Structure 1
Amino acid sequence: MTALWRNRDFTALWAGQVVSQLGASITATATPLLVLATTGSPRDAGLVGAARMLPYLVANLPAGPLVDRWSRHRILLLAPVLAGLTMLTVPVAIWSGRLGVTHLCAVAFVQGICFVFVGLAERAALPRVVPAAQLPAAIAQNEARGRGAGLAGRPLGGLLFGAGQAWPFLVDGITYLVAAAAMLWVRRDLNSAAPPPEEPLRRSIAAGFRWVWRQPLIRAAILLVAASNLVFQALILVLVVLAQRGGAGPATIGVMLGIYGGGGLLGAIAATRLHRHFSPRAVIIGVNWVWVALLPLFAVAGAPWQLGLIGAATAFVGPMWNVVIGTYTTTLVPNELLGRVNSVSMTLSWGVLPIGSLAAGYLLDRAGPTGAVWALSGFMLLTAVLATVSRAVRHAPPLVSARTPADAER
Structure 2
Amino acid sequence: MSSLWRNRDFTLLWSGQVISSLGAAISATATPLLVLAETGSPLDAGLVGAAGTLPHLIANLPAGPLVDRWNRRLILLISELVAAIALLSVPLAIWSGVFTVAQLCVVAFVQGLCFVFFGLAQDAALPMVVPSAQLADAIAANEARSRGATLAGPPIGGFLFGLDRAAPFLVDGISYLVAAVGLLFLRRDLQKPPEGPTEPLWRAAVTGIRYVWSQPLIRVSMLLIAASNFVFQALILVLVVLAERQGGSPADIGLMLGLYSAGGLAGAFVAGRLHRSLSFRTVLIGINWVWAILLPLNLLTTNTLQLGALGALSAFVGPLWNVVVFTYAGRVVPNELLGRVMSAAGTLTWGVMPLASLSAGLLLTWIGPKGSIWSLSAIMLGAAIAATLSPSVRHAPNLDPVEEPAPAA
Using structure 1 for the length normalisation, give the TM-score.
0.89
In the other structure, the counterpart of 1:111 is 111
Report how many residues are paired. Answer: 401
Q: What is the rounded CA distance, in whole Å, between the counterparts of 2:173 and 2:256 in structure 1?
A: 24
Structure 1 letter corresponding to 2:281: R
Q: What is the rounded CA distance, in whole Å, between the counterparts of 1:243 and 1:89 in structure 2?
A: 36
In the other structure, the counterpart of 1:386 is 386
Q: What is the rounded CA distance, in whole Å, between the counterparts of 1:291 and 1:33 in structure 2?
A: 31
Aligned to 2:184, what secondary structure does the other structure show?
A: helix
The 1:373/1:23 distance shift into structure 2, 3 A limit, reads farther
In the other structure, the counterpart of 2:334 is 334
Q: What is the rounded CA distance, in whole Å, between the counterparts of 1:53 and 1:220 in structure 2?
A: 24
Q: What is the rounded CA distance, in whole Å, between the counterparts of 2:284 and 2:167 in structure 1?
A: 40
Work out whether residues 68 and 196 of structure 1, in 8 Å CA contact, stay in contact via their aligned partners in 2. Answer: no
Q: What is the rounded CA distance, in whole Å, between the counterparts of 1:138 and 1:199 in structure 2?
A: 31
In the other structure, the counterpart of 1:248 is 249
Instruction: Say what the alpha-carbon RMSD is for the aligned residues.
Output: 2.5
The 1:295/1:196 distance shift into structure 2, 3 A limit, reads farther
The 1:317/1:77 distance shift into structure 2, 3 A limit, reads same
Q: What is the rounded CA distance, in whole Å, between the counterparts of 1:90 and 1:302 in structure 2?
A: 40
Q: What is the rounded CA distance, in whole Å, between the counterparts of 1:119 and 1:105 in structure 2?
A: 21
1:160-309 aligned at under 5 Å gives the runs 160-194=160-194, 197-243=197-243, 246=247, 248-249=249-250, 253-309=253-309
Report the Cα offset of residue 110 of structure 1.
1.2
In the other structure, the counterpart of 1:406 is none
The 1:236/1:38 distance shift into structure 2, 3 A limit, reads farther
- Percent identity, aligned pairs only, is 63
Q: Give per-residue Cα distances to partners, 1:264-284, cap 9 Å, x unaligned.
A: 111111111111122222112
Work out whether residues 43 and 361 of structure 1, in 8 Å CA contact, stay in contact via their aligned partners in 2. Answer: no
Report the Cα offset of residue 399 of structure 1.
3.0
Unaligned ranges ≥5, structure 1: 403-410
Q: Give per-residue Cα distances to partners, 1:257-314, cap 9 Å, x unaligned.
A: 2221111111111111111122222112211121122223334434433332222111
In the other structure, the counterpart of 2:405 is none
Aligned to 1:393, what secondary structure does the other structure show?
A: helix
The 1:401/1:181 distance shift into structure 2, 3 A limit, reads closer
In the other structure, the counterpart of 2:352 is 352
Report the Cα offset of residue 356 of structure 1.
1.6
Structure 2 letter corresponding to 1:357: S
Structure 2 letter corresponding to 1:233: Q
Work out whether residues 94 and 166 of structure 1, in 8 Å CA contact, stay in contact via their aligned partners in 2. Answer: yes
Report the Cα offset of residue 140 of structure 1.
1.3
The 1:393/1:337 distance shift into structure 2, 3 A limit, reads same
Q: What is the rounded CA distance, in whole Å, between the counterparts of 2:42 and 2:377 in structure 1?
A: 20
Work out whether residues 50 and 353 of structure 1, in 8 Å CA contact, stay in contact via their aligned partners in 2. Answer: no
The 1:360/1:255 distance shift into structure 2, 3 A limit, reads same
Q: Give per-residue Cα distances to partners, 1:96-136, cap 9 Å, x unaligned.
A: 55555433332221111111100010011111111112111
Work out whether residues 155 and 253 of structure 1, in 8 Å CA contact, stay in contact via their aligned partners in 2. Answer: no
Structure 2 letter corresponding to 1:283: V
Q: What is the rounded CA distance, in whole Å, between the counterparts of 2:347 and 2:111 in structure 1?
A: 16
The 1:275/1:132 distance shift into structure 2, 3 A limit, reads same
Q: What is the rounded CA distance, in whole Å, between the counterparts of 2:172 and 2:301 in structure 1?
A: 32
The 1:278/1:144 distance shift into structure 2, 3 A limit, reads same
Q: Does 1:102 align with 2:118?
A: no
The 1:8/1:315 distance shift into structure 2, 3 A limit, reads same
Work out whether residues 69 and 194 of structure 2, in 8 Å CA contact, stay in contact via their aligned partners in 1. Answer: no
Q: What is the rounded CA distance, in whole Å, between the counterparts of 1:43 and 1:361 in structure 2?
A: 12
The 1:227/1:79 distance shift into structure 2, 3 A limit, reads same
In the other structure, the counterpart of 2:77 is 77
Structure 1 letter corresponding to 2:137: A
Q: Which moved further from structure 2: 316-325 or 201-210?
A: 201-210
Q: Give per-residue Cα distances to partners, 1:53-110, cap 9 Å, x unaligned.
A: 2211111111111111111111111101111221223334445555554333322211
Structure 1 letter corresponding to 2:379: F
The 1:46/1:233 distance shift into structure 2, 3 A limit, reads farther
Q: Does 1:67 align with 2:81?
A: no
Aligned to 1:397, what secondary structure does the other structure show?
A: coil
Work out whether residues 46 and 361 of structure 1, in 8 Å CA contact, stay in contact via their aligned partners in 2. Answer: no
Q: What is the rounded CA distance, in whole Å, between the counterparts of 2:61 and 2:161 in structure 1?
A: 35
Q: Which moved further from structure 2: 273-282 or 232-241?
A: 232-241
The 1:368/1:46 distance shift into structure 2, 3 A limit, reads farther
Q: What is the rounded CA distance, in whole Å, between the counterparts of 1:148 and 1:171 in structure 2?
A: 17
Q: What is the rounded CA distance, in whole Å, between the counterparts of 2:38 and 2:370 in structure 1?
A: 24
Work out whether residues 276 and 400 of structure 2, in 8 Å CA contact, stay in contact via their aligned partners in 1. Answer: no
Report the Cα offset of residue 341 of structure 1.
0.8
Q: What is the rounded CA distance, in whole Å, between the counterparts of 2:244 and 2:95 in structure 1?
A: 25
Q: Give per-residue Cα distances to partners, 1:8-53, cap 9 Å, x unaligned.
A: 1100000111111112222333334444555555555444333222
